[in-house]
């Protein structure tokens, strides 16, 4: 990854994720040790403090979910001068859309790309220096090192195999369903691989909303929402429904001084040619989306809220 990201000894990474999380351990400790380079740690995420550290420590590289960078760009203390040292942002996790990459690239003034990995298989795909920048925003990259990828055509699930793959869960019962007989790890993510080997994650098997028997990938709904100029960040969840099983609820964080309601949402999805059953039936505007310690959206909290507010 040091070669893929073209990291040097004069680089510095800001790591806000806990070191008990794979991203904190891998990118805040192991990767800086390999280069070697400076690692700036944060006890907890705070966008204003992050901006102060980026400017003071001349941070050049960051990696994390979109929520970190959305927080940076929306902070009261944000300025291009504060992030002038940044040259590369690698973003992974749910909600990394082409719209996010384009906005972050323009506002942060640096290269922003998508990266895919997990606790079980941390560095699976990303784009590399010299790759088509469109690929950096529209796909999750191509395999790094000796990673092998395979799509299970029965359900679209991405399977991974390679030297960095974990050896298994501590509970043997979980490993029965986690691995195929020939050693492929079932990621739980739904993806596509094009003829040139580029991976695009389209959702999680467990992040599927089932409305009237139709499977709806939350990531697809979120990508359409975030392509709207007034929507900065979005999370789609299912709310229980006695007749249809679930209905699509969208929680949206908006660009300042803008509005986006259900009518605008329906019109936007129709304009984009999205099937009506995938269109959110409720839109909830929030100042901030709840996040877990590692910065990923707290979908459990949003599902609970969607169910209680119905």
Contacts of residue 275, Cβ cutoff 8 Å, sequence gap at least 6? none
Q: Which residues of 155-190 are buried (b: 16+ CB within 10 A; e: fewer)?
A: ebbbbbbbebbeeeeeeeeeeeebbeeeebbbbebb
Domains 12-143 and 148-204 share a fold: no
- List per-block mean pLDDT (blocks of 10 residues) for the chain, which spans 310 residues: 95 93 93 98 94 98 90 94 97 79 95 92 91 89 94 92 93 90 92 94 82 84 95 94 90 94 96 94 95 86 90
**176, containing H or E segment:** helix 172-178
Cα–Cα dist 258/174, whole Å:
46
Q: Look at residue 94 in the predicted model and tell me its pLDDT.
A: 59
Q: Which top CATH class is 206-308? A: alpha beta
Q: What is the CA radius of gyration of the chain?
A: 19
What is the pTM assigned to this prediction? 0.75
Residue 246 φ/ψ, nearest 5 degrees: -145, 155
In the chain, where are the structural domains located? 12-143, 148-204, 206-308
Q: Are 200 and 228 in contact (CB under 8 A)?
A: no
Encoded tokens for 174: 């979980």
Q: Look at residue 21 in the predicted model and tell me its pLDDT.
A: 86
Q: Look at residue 310 in the predicted model and tell me its pLDDT.
A: 67
Contacts of residue 134, Cβ cutoff 8 Å, sequence gap at least 6? none
Among 189, 193, 219, smallest CA distance to 204 is for 189
Return the CATH fold of 148-204.
Answer: Luciferase; domain 3 (2.30.38)
**Cβ count near 148 (within 10 Å):** 13
Contacts of residue 294, Cβ cutoff 8 Å, sequence gap at least 6? 17, 18, 21, 23, 24, 64, 65, 93
Q: Which residue has the tokens 């993510």?
A: 189
CATH placement of domain 12-143: 3.40.50.980
**Cβ count near 59 (within 10 Å):** 23
Phi-psi region of 172 (alpha: psi -120 to 50; beta: other; left: phi over 0): alpha
Provide the 3-class DSSP secondary structure of residue 86: coil
Among 87, 216, 204, 197, smallest CA distance to 149 is for 197
């Amino acid at each position: 990854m040091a070669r893929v990201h073209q990291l040097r000894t004069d680089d510095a990474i800001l790591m806000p994720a806990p070191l008990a999380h794979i991203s904190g351990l891998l990118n805040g400790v192991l990767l800086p040790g390999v280069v070697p380079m400076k690692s700036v740690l944060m006890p907890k995420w705070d966008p204003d403090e992050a901006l102060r550290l980026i400017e003071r420590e001349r941070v050049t590289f960051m990696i994390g979910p979109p929520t970190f960078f959305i927080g940076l760009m929306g902070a009261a203390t944000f300025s291009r001068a504060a992030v002038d040292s940044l040259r590369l942002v690698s973003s992974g996790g749910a909600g990394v859309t082409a719209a996010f990459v384009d906005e972050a690239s323009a506002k942060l003034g640096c290269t922003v790309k998508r990266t895919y990995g997990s606790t079980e298989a941390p560095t699976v795909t990303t784009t590399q220096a010299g790759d088509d920048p469109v690929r950096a925003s529209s796909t999750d990259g191509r395999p790094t090192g000796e990673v092998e990828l395979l799509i299970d055509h029965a359900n679209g699930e991405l399977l991974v195999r390679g030297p960095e793959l974990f050896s298994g869960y501590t509970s043997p019962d979980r490993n029965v369903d986690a691995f195929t007989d020939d050693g492929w790890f079932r990621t739980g993510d739904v993806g596509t691989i094009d003829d040139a080997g580029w991976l695009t994650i389209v959702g999680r098997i467990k992040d599927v909303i089932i409305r009237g028997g139709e499977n709806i990938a939350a990531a697809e709904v979120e990508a359409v929402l975030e392509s709207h100029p007034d929507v900065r960040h979005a999370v789609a969840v299912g709310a229980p429904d006695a007749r249809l099983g679930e209905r699509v609820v969208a929680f949206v964080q908006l660009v300042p001084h803008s509005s986006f309601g259900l009518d605008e949402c329906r019109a936007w999805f129709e304009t984009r040619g999205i099937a009506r059953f995938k269109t959110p039936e409720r839109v909830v505007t929030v100042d901030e989306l709840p996040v877990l310690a590692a910065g990923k959206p707290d979908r459990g909290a949003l599902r609970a809220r969607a169910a209680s507010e119905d």
